Chain A
Amino acid sequence: MSFPKCDMRAVALAAVLATGVLAIFGGDAFAQEDPLETGSGEIGGAPEAVGLGEFDETLLPTACNVTAEDLPDDGGGSIQVTWEPLEARGTDIGILAYEILRYAPGEEPSSLGEVPPTDTGYTDTEAEDGVPYQYVVRTKTPLGSTDSEPSEAAVATAQWVAMGRLSILIMAVLFCGAVLYYIRRARVGDELFVRKIPGLEAVDDAVGRATEMGRPVLFVPGIETVSEVGTLAALTILGHVAKRVARHGTPLDVPCADPIVMTTAQEIVKQAYTEIGRPDDYDPARVAYLTYDQFGYTAGVDGMMLRDRPEAVFLVGTFYAESLILAETGHSIGAIQIAGTKETSQLPFFVAACDYTLIGEELFAASSYLSREPVMLGSLKGQDLAKLWIVYFILLAFVVGTIGYIARPDGSSLLTKVFDVMHSWFG
């Protein structure tokens, strides 16, 4: 962020020097020109420096309607400052930056820093709780600076409950309640139906085919870190795939783009081989780190595909622009490909290039589906119930909003107000 500011200052400085030189050596031709009437914000220099005589500072742009209020839903120590830019009347004087000044009782005003001219807000994260602060926004231009009116005093406080997240809390409680209810039902032995997911049904076939052909299985867990939920889902699937692979004695390659993912994947694969009773077959070199670099990783995995010719390729996890490059390379070697991601922008690529695709929630359901443990399946059932509630809610909002609009198109009906509340709470 500092580069543009430096550039603008450099431009202003150069302009000051240039106008000074022209004023000295350029004669009357330049001196008679009023920079405020040229319409160019590029003409810099303080008015007195270029000998413009009387200068009307009210023509400079300034910040107005400066407000300061405690940052909501935070742990204290922060005040949010906002303002509106007021452009110079009849001129086109560019703004270099806004400087934020803070006034505390009994203290000298202090500068908190500068923000680019495109910003209309600043968060003071160094405020002391309980102290009233006022703020002034200084607008800096090549022709000078103007100060706004001071804001009303604001006090930073810490909140115990983030009220802005109350709707999320309510939804989370309802959702978790549904999941826990079905997990409990599964524990007491209720039969739970879960629809077939073709991509997961094909896992055994893919591993079996690789075994028959005597070729390896390639598992690509995406390019994100282990803190990404898509990567976690991929690692849970890896555990199931590794067990099947270990049972058949098929080689399994897991190239990783993150060292923590690599370490976790190594442990998962090792455990799978141990559980199957073939710990000696586990080769840690096959679960390897390639690189953090997105396209370096892509090139590495592509190279593995072309050299080793795996018969089954799993592209499961979080992918971005590399998704199609990997999937098309896998397609070109004739491998059976099972892909899965929650990234909606990459799903079409996987659908086009892979044999099976786990779409969004199917990726997260995979571990439960493959394990077939009733308790895990119970959580899927709870998830479905929550989805049903969301569908009902959307339908209800649709009906209420539509009837409200038909009844009174100006938006004054009770139903429209109810719709607005629903929208603001859950929208």
Chain B
Amino acid sequence: MKRTVPLVITFLTGTFLVISFFVPHAPFGELEQRLLVWYAIVAGFTMLLGVDSLIRAHARRVARTREGWAFSLALLAGLVATVVVGVIGRVQYGSPFHIQSPFMFIYTYAIVPLQATMFALLAFFIASASYRAFRARNWVATLLLVSAVIVMLGRIPIGAAISQFFPVAQEWIMDVPQLAAKRGIQIGAALGAVSMSLRIILGIERSYLS
């Protein structure tokens, strides 16, 4: 029973959603939007579970003064401070997202720079990954290296200054072999996704159920 009910719900929901894709007339057409609203409501409540999980994990670490407990304390302090300034912003300006609210101050001067810092790390990681990927160990890796050099040179002004071959060649590489490979992967992935969805709807795939 514990497994049968979810499987029946999955089958009915999946089947009705497939029907609603091909039958836009009421009542089928509105089904997807309705289910999205339900999903948003469920997601809102599960956020409480997420925050509960986060607080428990870090509070336990602080209480037991495990290694790195100070970071956990900083996280909990940040969480509480953000909620408090959000409430203050709501009371003072009508919305925490008001441009002058302290909540937006935290967002602009703490969260955005931190996000930018993490994103900026990507430049260094791309350099180290490229170094490994572009080593000419065999003919396939050499082909990759040559293609990459042509594409990189073709996309910057100095490439065109050296020779008009680079912009033309990079365009051909990106539009023909690269795009063909990409589409092949996308077709395979789309079929795989449909196949997996079919397995889930029909109850053949059950590993996601407890």
Query: Could you list which residues of chain A lie within 8 angstroms of chain B, going by C-beta atoms?
Result: 73-76, 158-162, 165, 168-169, 172, 175-176, 179, 183, 225, 227, 229-230, 232-233, 235-236, 239-240, 256, 258-260, 262-264, 267-268, 270-271, 284-285, 288-291, 293-296, 298-299, 307, 321-322, 324-325, 327-328, 342, 344, 347-349, 351-353, 359-365, 367-368, 371, 375-376, 379-380, 382-383, 386-387, 390
B83 at the interface (CB under 8 A from A): no
Q: Which residues of A contact B194 (CB under 8 A)?
A: 172, 175-176
The interface residues of chain B lying within 8 Å CB-to-CB of A258 are 50
The dominant DSSP class at the B interface is helix
Complex interface: chain B residues within 8 A of A383 (CB): 191-192, 195
- State the majority secondary structure of interface residues on A: helix
In the complex, the answer to whether B54 meets A290 with C-beta atoms within 8 Å is yes
Residues from chain A with a CB closer than 8 A to the CB of B119 are 295, 321
Q: A296-B115, A353-B129 are in contact. Are A76 and B26 (CB under 8 A)?
A: yes
Question: Does B133 contact A376, Cβ atoms closer than 8 Å?
Answer: no
Please give me the residue from chain B that is nearest to A364 by CB atom: B192
Contacts of B25 in A (CB 8 A): 75-76, 158-160
B139 at the interface (CB under 8 A from A): no
* B208 lies within 8 A of A361 (CB): no
A sample of 26 cross-chain residue pairs with beta-carbon separation below 8 angstroms, ordered by A number, consists of: A74-B24, A162-B22, A162-B24, A169-B22, A172-B18, A236-B205, A271-B210, A285-B53, A285-B57, A293-B115, A296-B115, A298-B118, A321-B119, A324-B122, A324-B125, A325-B125, A353-B125, A359-B185, A360-B189, A361-B185, A361-B189, A362-B192, A363-B189, A368-B199, A371-B207, A379-B199
**Total contacting residues, chain B, CB less than 8 A:** 62
* Contact status A161-B115, CB under 8 Å: no
Name which of B23, B50, B54 has the most chain A CB atoms within 10 A of its CB. Answer: B50
Residues of B within 8 A of A371 (CB): 207
User: Is the beta-carbon distance between A328 and B133 smaller than 8 angstroms?
Assistant: no
Residue B68 at the A interface, CB < 8 A? yes
Interface string of B158-196 (1 = CB under 8 A from A): 000000000000000000000000100111110111111
| Shortest Cβ distance from B116 into A: residue | A295
Within 8 Å by CB of B43, from A259, A288, A325, A362, lies A259
B9 on the interface (CB 8 Å rule)?
Answer: no
Q: Tally inter-chain residue pairs, CB-CB below 8 A.
A: 197
Could you mark each residue 56-85 of chain B with 1 if its beta carbon is under 8 Å from any beta carbon of chain A, else 0?
A: 110010000001100000000000000000
Name A73's closest neighbour in chain B (CB-CB).
B24
Whether B115 lies near A352 (C-beta < 8 A) is: no
The 0/1 profile, CB within 8 Å of A marked 1, for residues 29-41 of chain B is: 1100000000100
Is B5 positioned at the interface, with any CB of A under 8 Å from its CB?
A: no
Q: Closest Cβ of chain B: how far from A61's Cβ, in Å?
A: 34
Most chain-B CB neighbours within 10 Å: which of A236, A321, A375, A386? A236
Contact A262 B192 (CB under 8 A): no
B28 closest partner in A (C-beta): A75
Interface centre among B126, B128, B189, B194, by most chain A C-beta atoms within 10 angstroms, is B189
Query: Which of chain A's residues have a CB closer than 8 A to the CB of B68?
Result: 307
Interface centre among B46, B57, B68, B114 (most CB of A within 10 A): B46
Q: Is the CB of A183 within 8 A of B204?
A: yes
